[in-house]
Chain A
C-alpha cells in the first residue's frame, strides 16, 4: 500500500497523497514485524517443511529490515531515485516471501495445479493410479493402498507438510504416527486412529480429510480398513491376503483396462453405480459392433432420411423416414450395408410394400420396426421370419388381418404388436392371442366414454 501511494504521489495529480506515505510506510513496518512474530510461533509447531520455512523466515526478516530502511529514507526526505531502488527491492522481497508462504500453506503446486490436467492431488506429490491388470497379483501397498494415500493424504501429511507431525509418505513414519499417537495398529482397524478419523462425521473437527479437501470414498475407506486388518503389510500381494465378501467387488473394480476407469470405479459411490445401471437400455444390443460405412450413411442422409447412432459412442443405428416419405422398396437395398447396426427402422407412411419386407432378411440387430400406414399385407409378415430379435412391430393403419398376425409366430423375440386400425377381425382376437403367447397384441380402439359430468358446468350453489 505504501509503495503504491509513494509511486502515485510522485505524480502531480496525486501530490495530495504525499503526506500519507510516511504513515502508511510505518504501518507497513509494524505489520511486517507482527507477521514475523506470528510466523515464528507457527513454525514452532514443526508441521512444515523446514527448508521452505527457513527461506520464508529469512526472506521475511529481510523484508522487515528493508521496509524499516524504506521508512527511514522517506522520513529523512531522500531523493526519489534512491527511494525507488529500495521500493523495487522491497517489491521483490515481498513477492518471494509471499510465494514461499503460500507454498507452505497450500502446497508447492497450488497455483500451477489448476493448469495441469485433472488428476493432480491436493498439492504435493501425486502418484498416478496405474492400471491394474490382475488385482490378485498386485502389491497391496504399492499399487492399491499407496495411490489412495497419495491422492488424498500426502498433500498435508507428506514431504512438504506434516500436519499433526504425521508423515504418511514413508512406511516407517506412517507406522510411527504423529502428535496424537500411532495412526495404524496393524491388525486392528477399529483401534487405528487413521480409520477412526475417516469414519468420524464430516462436521467433526477431527474428521479426515478436512471438509474443504477432497473426501475419501466409501470404497477407499473400506480398502484401508481391510489392509490394516490384514496386518498393514508393505510387501504382500493382494492374492496372499484374505478377502472378505465386502472387499472383493471393490478390488475387482480396480482391475480395469484404463487408469481412468479404475479411478472412476473406485471413486464413484452408490449413486454413480445406480446411474450407470439406469442408463442401460435393454432395447439396444449389449455387444459392441463395428461402425457402419460413412458413405452408406451419407447416401441415406442425402435423401433426407435420418440415419443416426442411437447414442454418443454407439455404433447401433436408428433410421427414420419421417422427412423422406417417398422412399420405397428400393430403399431397403440401401439399408443392407447397415444390416448389423440397424436397431430401429421407422417406415411410417412410406411407399414400402411386401417386396421391401422381403429384403429385410438378415437384419439381425433390428429391434423395432414401424410399418404404420404403409401398404404391407399379410404376405409381407411371412418375410419377417428371420428377424429373431424383433421386439416391437407397429402395424397401425395397415391392411393386416388375422392371417398376417399368425404368420408372426416364428419371431421368438417379439414382445408387442400394435394393430390399431388394422383389418384384424376382433372375433379372432382370442385365438390369435393364444397362438402368440407372451406377445402383447394391442388392438387399440380404447374408448373414453363421455360421462354426463364431462360437459356439465358446476355452477355456484343457489344461482
Chain B
C-alpha cells in the first residue's frame, strides 16, 4: 500500500470515529426516553406559548446582535452603568443627616441593633456623624457633599433614588442581585438581557462591553456580566483601557490580517458543513462570532484609542491616554455609545470603606475614590448632552448596598481608621438621561439615615426602570429555562414612575 492509500484509510477511519463519537448510546437513550415524553408533555401543557399577545424575542443564532424591537418605543437607546463596587457611603455623599451628627460618638441604641445581622460590626458600635460637609445645589436643592464638587454643578440633570434597599449584605451576592436579579450565580446580567432583547446598533462592535478599574475584579467575579442561561453570545465583552483592548483578539506574531481572514473563512466553511449535518444553532453563533471577532480587530482598537481625542476632552474627563483609569473608562463609555454600542458596564473597585486601612478609610481613601470618579462622571453627562446623546442614553451610578450610620467596630474593637460597615436598608443611586426626569429626588430615609421610610426601591425596581426606559415591559421580556419563563426581575419589580419624565 502506498503512503497515500494508508493516509486515506486513516482519514476515513478517523472520520468514522468522529461521527461515532458524536452519537453514543447515551445520547440515543436520553433522546428517545426523555425526548418523546418531554415533547408530549410540552405540547400538553402549552409550554413556550407565554400567553396570548406576549411578544416573543426571536433569537437568530446567525445574527445574534441584529437590532430587535422593544415592546414599546422607549426613550433610551443605550445604557451606561457605573457601578462602584464595594458600596460608596451615601452618608458622606448624598444623604445629609444632621441628626446623626448630634449622635456622633454615642453608643448605638439597642433598637437599631436588635434582631439585625451585620457583616462585621459586633457588639455595640458607636454612631458616626457625617464626615463631610453638605450643601444644597441647583434648582432641585439636592444635597451633595463637598467630596463631589463637580457633580454638585449638574444635579439638575440627574435624579436621585435615596431609599434603595436590598437584602444582601455581602458584596458578591449583593452585586449579583443588583446585576442579575438573584443573589445566586447563574442568571444573566442586565446587559445580557438588554442585548438579548434589543440587539445592538453597531454590528462591528460588541453589544455589551464591560470596563473595569480599581485594581481588582468585583467580588462577584465575571458572572456579574455573564450571560447565565441566555445564549453565551450575550456575555459582556471585557475591554481594557490599557494595553490590548480585548485580550486574545490580536493576531499572533507573524500572522497577517489576510492570512487571518483566510483561516477564519476556512474554519467557518468547516463549521458550516457541521451545521448542515447536525443543525446545532450554536454553530451558527460560532460562525458569526468568528466573523465579528475579525471585524473587532479593526473596529475595537479604533474606538478604544483615546489618544486622538482633543486635549479639551481629556481636560474635561481628567483622562490620561495610556495609563488605564476610571476616567479613561468613562471616556471610552461615551465613545462606545456614540458608535452605537448598546450597553456599557463600568466597574470600579475600592469603595468598601470599612476603615480597616487607609485606602478604605472614610477620611482618606474614600475621598480619593470620590475624586477619581467625580470629574469624569460629570464630564460624561455634559459630554453626552452636548453631543445630543443624553436624551437617548441612560446613565446609572451606584453601589450594591449602603453604609451604616454606625462606625464599624470589627470584632468589637475600633478599626484603625474611620469606616462604616455594610448596610442594606438604605442607599442612594442616581440616574440620568434616557427619559429620566431632571432634578427629581425620590425616596426618604429616617433622620439618621438608617432605614428607608418612603419611596423604597429595590434592585428589581431599578432593573424594571432600566428596561422600561429601553422600551421593555420587564414582565414580558422572558426566556424559557428549566421549564418556566425567567425574566431579569424574576417575580418582583415595578417601574419607578416618579423619576420618569
Which residues on A are within 8 Å of B, measured CB to CB?
114-115, 117-118, 260, 271, 274-275, 278-279, 281, 283-284, 304, 306, 308-314, 316, 320, 322-323, 370, 372, 392, 394, 396, 416, 418, 420, 442-448, 450-451, 453-461
Contact = CB atoms under 8 A, between A and B. Distances in A.
Contact of B73 (A274, A283, A320, A370): A283
A418 B387 contact: yes
Contact of A322 (B202, B383, B468, B473): B202
Contact of B386 (A284, A304, A392, A442): A442
B451 to A, nearest CB: 25
Contacts of A370: 388
A306 B386 contact: no
Contacts of A418: 386-388
Contacts of A323: 201-204, 340
Contact of A118 (B52, B204, B368, B500): B52
Contacts of A446: 316, 382-383, 385-386
B228 interface: no
Contact of A308 (B69, B317, B383): B69
A310 B70 CA distance: 7
Closest 3 pairs (CB-CB, A-B): A444-B386, A418-B388, A446-B382
Interface stretch (B14-22, B43-51, B271-279): B43-51
B71 interface: yes
Interface stretch (B160-168, B344-352, B371-379, B437-445): B371-379
Given A311-B471, A447-B316, A458-B367, A396 B55 contact: no
B462 to A, nearest CB: 16
Contact of A278 (B315, B375, B468): B468
A372 B340 CA distance: 14
19 contacts: A260-B52, A275-B495, A306-B201, A310-B70, A311-B70, A316-B73, A322-B201, A372-B388, A392-B391, A416-B388, A418-B386, A418-B387, A420-B387, A446-B316, A450-B318, A454-B375, A455-B371, A460-B417, A461-B364
Given A444-B386, A458-B364, A311 B150 contact: no
Interface string B50-81: 01110100000000000101111111000000
B73 A444 contact: no
Interface string B88-124: 0000000000000000000000000000000000000
Interface of B: 44-46, 51-53, 55, 67, 69-75, 149-150, 201-204, 315-318, 339-340, 358, 361, 363-365, 367-368, 371, 374-375, 378-379, 382-383, 385-388, 391, 417, 468, 471, 473, 494-495, 497, 500
Given A322-B339, A457-B368, A442 B388 contact: yes
Contacts of A450: 315, 318, 375
Contacts of A455: 318, 371
Contacts of A271: 494
A52 B358 CA distance: 78
A311 B72 contact: yes
Contacts of A456: 371
A283 B495 CA distance: 20
A460 B364 contact: yes
A445 B387 CA distance: 10
B75 A283 contact: yes
Nearest to B378: A448
Nearest to A117: B52
Contacts of B73: 281, 283-284, 310-311, 314, 316
Contacts of A313: 55
Contacts of B358: 459-460
B364 A118 contact: no
B379 A392 contact: no
Contacts of A309: 69
Contact of B371 (A275, A420, A453): A453
B74 A281 contact: yes
Contacts of B388: 370, 372, 392, 394, 396, 416, 418, 420, 442
B52 to A, nearest CB: 7
B383 to A, nearest CB: 8
Contacts of B51: 118
Which has the most chain A C-beta neighbours within 10 Å: B45, B204, B340? B340
A69 to B, nearest CB: 37
A320 B201 CA distance: 8
B386 A281 contact: no
A304 B374 CA distance: 39
Given A308-B67, A370-B388, A394-B388, 5 more contacts: A278-B495, A306-B201, A323-B340, A396-B387, A444-B387
B369 to A, nearest CB: 10
A312 B368 contact: no
A456 B374 CA distance: 13
A263 to B, nearest CB: 11
Contact of A448 (B339, B340, B379): B379
Contact of A279 (B72, B204, B368, B378): B72
B385 A312 contact: no
Contacts of A320: 201, 340
Nearest to B475: A275
A309 B316 CA distance: 37
B497 A451 contact: no
A322 B52 CA distance: 35
A448 B385 CA distance: 13
Nearest to A442: B386
A303 B316 CA distance: 37
A413 to B, nearest CB: 16
A94 B340 CA distance: 66
Contacts of B74: 281, 311
Nearest to A116: B46
Contacts of B386: 396, 418, 420, 442-446
A307 to B, nearest CB: 10
Contacts of B53: 260
A96 B371 CA distance: 76
Contact of B318 (A396, A454, A460): A454
A418 B365 CA distance: 39
Contacts of B495: 275, 278
B41 to A, nearest CB: 12
Nearest to B310: A421
Contacts of B378: 448
Nearest to B371: A454
A314 B69 CA distance: 10
A284 B70 CA distance: 14
Contacts of B468: 278-279
Contacts of A442: 385-386, 388
A145 B318 CA distance: 67
Nearest to A444: B386
Which has the most chain B C-beta neighbours within 10 Å: A308, A392, A458? A458
B216 to A, nearest CB: 19
Given A283-B75, A284-B73, A459 B364 contact: yes
